[in-house]
Structure 1
Amino acid sequence: MTQQMSRLRPELGDFSSIIFLKAILIGIEQALGDKTAAIAMISAGRNQGRIFARDLNLVGNKAFLSLEQIQNNINLVLGKEGTRLCLIDKIEQQGDIYKVYAKETFCSAGEVEGSSRTCTYTLGVIQGFLEALLEKRLYGKQTESVLRGGTHDVLEFCSIA
């Protein structure tokens, strides 16, 4: 975690209940509609993902990182020792497509089986992180969900030409 993030609230700490975060997400969806809210959440996530990559000094660093190193860095900021947004079990590259296998995502937490909810904010954070790291503009989409029978929330990212 970054030094800045460790000093946000001296008494309550840096973390808030996922219940309140989900309430914010649902409130935004109700106020703006699902599609507009998804655009806003992805955009907010992309911005935060870029900040995380920058804070880890990964932006503009031309040294090649393996997929395992990328996964470790993402988990550093998003996992147990970081913001606890989600855990990344695996990142695969198939040609120019990156597949990210996430679990315990913020967006899927507390949802009922079969829910149509997608991981918009989580997708955005990972997309922004990868864009900053790879120095490429990416398009992201969710292809599998734990809410609809998947073992993971699978997010796929490809380069935009």
Structure 2
Amino acid sequence: MSNALTSRPNLGQFSSIVCFKSVITGMEEALGEKATAIALIAAGRERGKNLAKELGLSGSTHELTVIGAKLNAAVGANGTHLTAVDKIVKEGDIIKVYCSETVCSAGEPQGSDRKCTFTMGAIWGALSEITGKKLRGIHTESILRGGANDVFEFTTVD
């Protein structure tokens, strides 16, 4: 029995950034920027939650460096190519995830106000599943606006 996600014998499981970006801009045109962001974050969170389960990280007590390495292996160059997870750190009550080569920022001009909605959502969903906590996420730094990384910050929602 073949898996529906990998049953493309000639093309494999990957699609192009150009096609993915067309989905985003088409959704923005049809739904508006805010509704599209909400939908893409929700889709990313679902993906991240499922990914954490697949990786056996649900409720994990691993150090953030280990979690970061496992997520990077799954979504980075050796995984789905969504983004490189460079590091995850905790500063007080904030979990910061530093990413590079995010699919959402690919092909965008410097100065673009593009946010990494799907990518942030995927990391958000994974961290929620890993920590067992409801989190709030925000994209605080962008490579498109002078940052060294795309940085996503997560805080616990009480």
Deviation at 1:5? 8.2
1:50 equivalent in alignment to 2:74: no
Offset at residue 10 of structure 1 (A): 2.1
| Cα distance in 2 for residues equivalent to 1:5 and 1:71 | 28
Q: Mean Cα displacement is larger for which, 22-31 or 7-16?
A: 7-16
Partner of 2:64: 67
- Deviation per CA, 1:44-76: give whole Å up to 9, x if none: 000000110111111245xx1001111011112
1:141 aligns with 2:133: no
Q: Give me the whole-angstrom Cα distance separating, in 2, the residues matched to 1:5 and 1:147.
A: 35
Rounded to whole Å, the distance in 2 between the matches of 1:38 and 1:80 is 25
Q: CA deviation at 1:104?
A: 0.4
Equivalent in the alignment of 1:84: 81
Amino acid across the alignment from 1:90: K
Contact conserved, 1:5 with 1:14, CA < 8 A, in 2? no
TM normalised by structure 1 equals 0.93
Letter in 2 for 1:26: T
Which structure 2 residue ranges, 5 or more long, are not aligned?
none
How far off is 1:8 after superposition? 3.7
Seen in structure 2, the aligned counterparts of structure 1 residues 72 and 8 have a Cα distance that, compared at 3 Å, is farther
Q: CA RMSD in A?
A: 1.5
Taking structure 1 as reference, are residues 19 and 126 closer, same or farther at Cα in structure 2, changes over 3 Å only? same
Pick closer, same or farther for the CA change 1:4–1:58 going to 2, 3 Å.
farther
**What CA deviation, in whole Å up to 9, does each residue of 1:65-124 have, x standing for no partner?**
001111011112110111100001111101121001110001100000100100000010
Q: Quick one: percent identity of the two aligned structures?
A: 47
TM-score under structure 2 length normalisation: 0.95
Alpha-carbon separation, structure 1, partners of 2:65 and 2:14:
27
In the alignment of these two chains, the number of paired residues is 157
1:111 equivalent in structure 2: 108
Give structure 1 stretches of 5+ with no counterpart: none
Partner Cα separation in structure 1 for residue 153 and residue 40 of structure 2: 17
Partner of 1:32: 31
Aligned equivalents of 1:96 and 1:57: distance in 2? Answer: 24
Cα distance 1:4–1:102, how it changes in 2: closer, same or farther (>3 A)? farther
For 1:124 and 1:5, how far apart are their aligned partners in 2?
Answer: 23
